[in-house]
Chain A
Amino acid sequence: MIVAKRKPFAEIMAMLEGYDKVLNVGCGTCVSVCLAGGEKEVAVLNTELEMARRLQDAPLDIQGHTIERQCDREYLAELDTMIADGKFDALLSMACGVGIQFLAERYPRIPTFPAVDTTGLAVNQAVGWYEERCRSCSQCVLGTTGGICPITMCAKGLLNGPCGGTNKGSCEISADQPCAWFRIHERLSGQGRLDAIRKINTTRGWNDQTPRNLIQPGYKKPERMAK
């Protein structure tokens, strides 16, 4: 899932300076599961903001609403009546970067601010602990690397590792960070498949250097949106 982390409170306060009527929009999908931007987090943040602004003698009228998914028009539509002209002078979003942008795009005349920093595509290792596993590079190599992603898990994104900095199973950057290539070797060795990494992985063309548009086979852009 997509994981995110709430921004430092002072940063959120600074963004909202000068705005008095704000709607904080939560997202009920990924950021809810990772405890960053669901209904509960919206309520907590709003309470904190209200209190802090009251102490500044600049009261904030802040409301909260969490929709199922901010990356989907169908769910965003339910905000239309709530966000009638003039009702809010700013929007705060606790969705991932995708949701924040889709919200901002739907209400282009209202300033929209991020309340979270999106940190990646991660697995849930334990309650509250999320480990990044995918950089969505558009060309998956997991088939030859024992199901462990070197682009994400190797601090240098090496395709022919491990480098000389591998340190007793850890990465040179930290004893807490496992060396991706050490693990890849370990797993492939256990499967009797070391041949998969004995051949050179040649230079790859990076497919994530321009904005990516994905249209699945059999589909096309709707007429009204195709310029």
Chain B
Amino acid sequence: MSTETKYSSGSNLEKVLKSGQFAFTGELGPPRGTDVDEVREKARFLKGHVDSVNITDNQTAVVRMSSWAASLIAIDEGLEPNYQMVCRDRNRLAMQADILGGYALGIRNMLCLSGDHQQFGDHPDAKGVFDIDSIQLIALVKQMRDEGRFLSGNEIHKPPKMFIGAASNPFADPFEWRVHRLAKKIEAGADFIQTQCIYNMPKFREFIRLANEEGLTEKVYILGGVTPMKSVGMARYMATKVPGMDVPEEIINRLKGVEKSKVAQEGINIACEQIEEFKAMKGVHGVHLMAIEWEHMVPQIAEQAKVLPRPVFD
């Protein structure tokens, strides 16, 4: 994508992407309690190593410290949050209110998601809201930013200017629909895309080829999702238990092929090889590293992946 200098938000991630540099984002899961120090500690491992950090929103439908609150702690630690918002837990009133509040307190990126079904989490009997869906949420954030209007059409006094993110799962069926769905998210207003964890590289290459062919990678920044495998057990779990995940047998075999004490390093090696390929892949503009409960390894992974130092803007 050509470099641009016109910014739609005050986001650092937007500056990195629009300057044509390869973006590197991380992820931080808020605690299941009020332990601020836990968030701060995780944040310190990420600071200086990522352009922005996704703050998950009740991920896997388990109650945690609210995403916007943990985002503010991240800001306090000198990190730029990418505030995740799912459609499962809020109606349109609560969503718009949280977008206003988040922006007012310094949040500049949002990732708009449907959210895992409540049945997976710790409150399986909860009423799922799903007042609007993820594509409609993208359009809502864009309308608030570009038209300065609420969903109702009423004018917003000092509208929130968010850099708008969306997710894409290149591996879910039907495969031919994935590019159409990506196109819908772009049409709705997504500025950047973070993909589901990629393990099946041939399928991902095909997805990007189709996205390039449709001209979609000229309209949106795509960050490939990478999650290093910590163990063979994790790889097996991801392969069989996580819906929409595609883990080829070769990955499991490669992990099984090394000594037990070296499996985690092998997982990191695989991730770094992927990152190397993404750097050269037309249509991929960065990597989203989801080192789940492995935040302390991010400095080492970033080093080995040769994505340091991260760009700094005035």
Contacts and interface: CB of A to CB of B under 8 A. Distances in A.
Interface of A: 155-169, 171-173, 182, 185-186, 189, 194, 198-203, 206
B134 interface: yes
B87 A156 contact: yes
Contacts of A164: 114, 167-169, 172, 196, 244
A167 B114 contact: no
A200 B187 contact: yes
B119 A173 contact: yes
Given A164-B169, A164-B196, A182 B174 contact: yes
Interface of A, helix, strand, loop or mixed by DSSP: loop
Interface in B99-155: 114-117, 119-120, 128, 130-136, 139-140, 151
Interface stretch (B41-49, B75-83, B176-184, B290-298): B176-184
Interface residues of B, number: 36
B285 interface: no
B116 A206 contact: no
Contact of A162 (B120, B151, B172, B187): B172
B184 A200 contact: yes
B147 to A, nearest CB: 14
Contacts of A203: 92, 132, 136, 139-140, 151
Q: 10 closest Cβ contacts across the A-B interface?
A: A164-B169, A167-B243, A172-B243, A160-B135, A163-B114, A158-B133, A203-B136, A165-B243, A156-B130, A166-B172
Interface in B233-264: 243-244
Contacts of A173: 117, 119-120
A159 B136 contact: yes
Nearest to A164: B169
Nearest to A175: B243
Interface in B165-218: 167-169, 172-174, 177, 180-181, 183-184, 187-188, 196
29 contacts: A155-B117, A156-B133, A158-B130, A159-B133, A160-B136, A160-B181, A164-B114, A164-B167, A165-B172, A166-B244, A167-B172, A167-B173, A167-B243, A167-B244, A171-B117, A172-B120, A172-B244, A173-B117, A173-B120, A199-B184, A200-B135, A200-B136, A200-B139, A200-B188, A202-B139, A203-B136, A203-B139, A203-B140, A203-B151
